Amino acid sequence: MKIVVIGAGGAMGRRVADRLERRGAQVVRAHRATGVDAATSEGLTAAVDGADVVIDCLNVAAATEAKAVAFFEQTAANIADAAKAAGARVVLLSISNASDPAVNAKMGYYKGKARQEQVYREKLGEQLTIVHTTQWFELALTMSEQFALGPLAMMPHMVTAPLAADDGADVIVDVALGASFAGAASIQVRGPERMDLLDVARQARKALGRKGKVFSLRFGGPGLTDGSLIPDPADVITSTTVKRWLATL
């Protein structure tokens, strides 16, 4: 089985590509460093030619809603067209409830993901499976470091049911290989515990020996703190707890 991983240079894309190869798939790692740019379509048609499945793990560091929406809209259209021409199924990684206005009202990145989902659905219909996951534990570290100043860090309250990125990658691989949820249009994946990512950030930085405090940052609106980030019901509840994840740092 030939599987193309778009965004294979990123945190999730690498995990997915590695797991697919270990399970015997023919993997094409498609990202800018390998000559594939989904935003411009450079190298995209050649990469997807003959593929059975295309997995979209793209990410973008977009500071504004306009940039996030433009990026995800364009890349989704380009990838969908290439996949349709090749007769390939598409598996899209997205965020649980990102398309809910209560969640994305003040989150430009989430509005971009919502538009990405919409474009894929319009173009591919039943040829698409979306794997929605809650936020990863790893995001707590990433965000707290983005908003760090010396020993001090900031992190917004995000009440969610976070999961380890490794567990999310396992689900995506199973879906791509047809080992689970065959023919499903949408799959909801969450971690085992409801918690605030702010607390995860504090615990993770402590585990890494980082000095200084993590302060709460007012950001994103009530949709980030009232439980709207957690899918109900969830199709998959992953097993790695925050305690187990912290032990791997």
Entry pTM: 0.97
Whether pLDDT at 177 is above 90? yes
Task: Dump pLDDT digits (tens) for 185-205.
Answer: 999 999 999 999 999 999 999
Task: Dump pLDDT digits (tens) for 9-58.
Answer: 999 999 999 999 999 999 999 999 999 999 999 999 999 999 999 999 99
- Residue 80 has a pLDDT of 98
75: its two tokens:
């890349």
Task: Dump pLDDT digits (tens) for 103-161.
Answer: 999 999 999 999 999 999 999 999 999 999 999 999 999 999 888 888 899 999 999 99
Q: How confident is the model at residue 218 (pLDDT cuts 50, 70, 90)?
A: confident
Domain that holds residue 199: 2-246
Domain of 14, CATH number, reads 3.40.50.720
Selection from 236, 97, 88 nearest residue 172 by Cα: 236
63: its two tokens:
């500071």
Selection from 131, 123, 233 nearest residue 185 by Cα: 131
Number of domains in the chain: 1
